[in-house]
Structure 1
């Protein structure tokens, strides 16, 4: 039996699964989230059937013939959608965030811009990890989705003892492996942090690094591109 209760954005989540080969994937995908004692708003149950695995959320049937490799990714996709809905009417962004001196630095940019690299450097420097994937911002501050930092398909040389892998199947039916880096538990932030700054990350390896204050219109356009759900 694999069972864990944790916080994802603003939602309390519980996942319970009967014996199966997908438990390592559940550890990789959900082991980095901070635990909670609150009653779950989202309760996932995985049970074994002759045809595969049955998946329910809050007693609602989601799937009933999942293969081992599909259990973890299917839960994760459904969880992402639901926690973003629960977080509304906050501004929810595809972004990374690290708290430094009690204030959150929110890093916005497309995949490959360098959010994960900057996030790792800030954590190594003593920052508190909030997210490498998704943050929710409202008048009370910012809270992050504490999924492990995505490292791609190669095991890391640095921090290998905290890396976790999971196998999955791509759209062409090929089996793949991905790695996530779990920050130390004491470096994972719990609750909301004030917003210290929002940074739009651009990847320009041929130019020296610099910080530029951008005008409000451009900032709004960049944030809109990164928005999962916005206040009406």
Structure 2
């Protein structure tokens, strides 16, 4: 009986040791592709949208106030035909008054917690070496949809240009980015002194 118990105990120890060994390592892989061509994006007016001074009395107390849309020209130039996408990053994430709309970027905060408003970046009129349409992807480029309504370049998804809908390898593309800005109801804001609109976004170029 003692021999059987010893054998059983030894088998348990061996099995435990085998499990410990099986769990004592993990694999890591480093992958990527070096592309022979590079692309450079640029924006007209230095990427600046300046509404100047806006009188608080001209803003709605109970509703949002839509400011006049401003169009910037986005240009992407590549050294050769290249597959790429664009992703907008909100540098004021969490400050949008329209928090339920993921494509709206924030304008900063008043007094640290009052959301000043928000703005969208509409994508219109792409002109490339060949006819293209605006496209967008919600799953990092796995599937693409045609952005036929010129909807917004939202920070949760990628934007590209092509058809069918499939991104095309392009050497250059010019596109209108329409900035639509709304100010939150001033009844929700402390405006006893000048408050700056503080929207900031970064457009990242992603090679596909």
Q: Which is bigger in relative contact order (C-alpha 8 A, separation at least 6)? A: 2
TM tier, smaller: under 0.3
TM-score (norm: length of structure 2): 0.27
- Point out the structure with the larger helix share: 1
